[in-house]
Structure 1
Amino acid sequence: MDDLSTIPANLDHLIITVPELEAGVAEFERLTGVRAVSGGRHPGRGTANYLVGLTPAGWPAGAHTYLEILGPDPQQTASADGTLPLDAHLAQALTLQTWAIHPHAFLAKVAGANTEGIDFGEVRDMSRETAEGELLEWRLTSRSPLPDKGAQPFLIDWGESTHPAEAGLPAVELLEFSIESPDAEATRRALDVLGAADTQVVDGSEHRLHARLRGPGGLLEF
């Protein structure tokens, strides 16, 4: 039986980065049997995304979580140094890059992280236009390079915008999610402060994210 306790209750979304967006979407479909749908572009950031819903069996009705496939936007000019947000320029294949949580009291969690010396970067206002022309606006914590190689989540607050998972996305099941850390206790302390204390953390030689997804076409594991 799949252990749903390994999936944090405040999970907002997972981010997979790819070196080429259309090819990455095709590869995800080949492995899972699910075709992601266009999410939209990030003007001035050099990226665009495709989205897939995540449906952990047993989660309460109305829970919102999804998977973002992020890659270079061919309609935007690349930055002079070739870098992309969320270190997406480093992807060589489908890469589980990082994850986002939506804790209650976003600003209180930011203040708590500051107090505890957790380096989350800065709070930024973001927006993108969906494929249907709707403007989504949100705020998040952002740091480059990613803290703990993406194993430390960033915080997100969608404000009054419609959450992307409410768009009736094609979906895969999220069966497992965990973090590997060379200092598991320190990672657990940080997650507690940020609002994801229920995340499974295991000892490992480096920071890594692990997830297991199931679609009608097969399993995809990171």
Structure 2
Amino acid sequence: MKLKKEIDHLVYTVFDLDATINMIEQKLGVRPEFGGYHKTQGTKNALLNLGNKCYLELLAIDDTNTEIPPLRWMGIDLLTSDKITRLAVKSDKLEEDSRLLKAINPEMGIINGGSRKTGDGSLLTWELTMPLSTPEVEIIPFMIDWKNEDNHPTKNLPVLCKLVKLYATHPMPESLESILGGLGTEIELIKSKEISIKAIIEGPGGILEL
């Protein structure tokens, strides 16, 4: 039996990063901090600490980056409305998890290094199993290894919000249970026509459901 892995972050993919930052500040009473740019992916982000080294990543297309054409990662070019499109799970055995993901989909387990400049100008680096550009929403998580605790994005973010609930909906949830279990990931699955990832977040100013 695989031990349960911890959620590292939720990817909330949006059309307008600034507007979403303002919306979350209004709803939760905490302003997400601008993170930086993913130069090799054509995206930019902002972060909201959810505690326990877990965070909400707001992800949007970087319109100033003309070098990266569609389709970009995380389903961002298929977006029909702002929504959580991906889950990232912590891994300290990336090669092993890569093999498990490749058994599900050969394209899912490709390991890549990533980096972005932070707001203070320092460089944040990581290794991950590469999130794909399709579908719009993927419930099967990608794995990420920050290599050391001092490298985690939440290190300098205030802990003012918490993740109250996380669940996913799918027309055939039973088809995902064994896959997620094999990856050591636990997430509540609810039967629905819609494929979605939902989160309830509580902050000092209120509660927000995404």
TM-score under structure 2 length normalisation: 0.86
Q: Tell me the distance in 2 between the aligned counterparts of 1:171 and 1:84.
A: 31
Q: How does 1:101-180 map to 2 (within 5 A)?
A: 101-114=89-102, 116-119=103-106, 120-146=108-134, 149-160=137-148, 162-169=151-158, 171-180=160-169
Post-superposition CA distance 1:50-106 (Å, at most 9, x none): 111003xxxxxxx3111111112244226444x432122344553112110013422
Is the CA contact (8 Å cut-off) linking 1:37 and 1:169 kept in structure 2? no
Q: Say if 1:24 and 1:93, in contact at 8 Å, map to a contact too.
A: no
Give the direction of change, closer, same or farther, for the CA distance of 1:92–1:171 in structure 2 (3 Å limit): farther
User: Are the structure 2 counterparts of residues 126 and 37 from structure 1 closer, same or farther at C-alpha, using a change threshold of 3 Å?
Assistant: same
Q: CA deviation at 1:46?
A: 1.6
Aligned-pair distance for 1:147? 5.5
Distance (Å, rounded) in 2 between the aligned partners of 1:93 and 1:53: 23
* Structure 1 runs not aligned, ≥5 long: 1-7, 56-62
| Stretches of structure 2 lacking an aligned partner (at least 5 in a row) | none
Q: Percent identity, please.
A: 29
Distance 1:45 1:113, change over 3 A: closer
3-state secondary structure, aligned to 2:137 = helix
Amino acid at match of 2:49: G
Report deviation, 1:143. 4.1
Alignment of 1:187 onto 2:183: no
1:171/1:69 Cα in 2 relative to 1: closer, same or farther (>3 Å)? farther
Contact 1:101 1:156 in 2 (8 A): yes
Alpha-carbon separation, structure 2, partners of 1:183 and 1:148: 17
Aligned-residue CA RMSD in angstroms?
2.3
- What's the TM-score once normalised by structure 1's chain length? 0.82
Q: Letter of the aligned partner of 2:29 in structure 1?
A: G
After superposition, what is the alpha-carbon deviation per residue over 1:155-210, rounded to whole angstroms, capped at 9, x for unaligned? 111124611111233532210001112222221111112220x2211222232111
Aligned to 1:3: none
